[in-house]
Amino acid sequence: MIIHHPILGPRDAQEFVYLGDAALIDRPDGMTAGVEVFHDWLYNRDNPAGEHRELWYHEQGDRSWLVVTRNTVTHEITRVELARDVARSKGRSK
């Protein structure tokens, strides 16, 4: 697979490490959310046959965490964003 890194251009998937569903970005606040909420966030994931947003890490590269939108049926990649930008757009900060 080829991942079009938003900064570095097309890169071979071998340079990356895969983590999983980008829903992990929405980490609950540990001081207010309890075990149930954390458990649901950490373990209960969708498993779509189709478009999937997922976290990839450019380990053999610039160490960017990316959100890659990939079709799990065709492997077509339609979008690649810096995870930091996605996290900020979801209101994450410090």
**Contact footprint for another protein (CB under 8 A):** 1-2, 13, 17, 19, 24-25, 27-31, 33-35, 38-39, 42, 55, 57, 59, 63-65, 74-77, 82-84, 87-88, 92-94
Six-digit token string for 40 = 């649901």
Residue 30 vs 50, nearer CB to another protein: 30
Alpha carbons within 13 A on the beta-carbon side of 90: 15
Answer for the pair 53, 22: CB distance below 8 angstroms, yes or no: yes
Shortest Å distance, C-beta 25 to another protein: 6
> Which residues in 26-64 are b (16+ Cβ under 10 Å) and which e?
eeeeeeeeeeeeeeeeeeeeeeeeeebbbbbbbeeeeeb
Shortest Å distance, C-beta 11 to another protein: 11
Residue 34 vs 47, nearer CB to another protein: 34
Shortest Å distance, C-beta 42 to another protein: 6
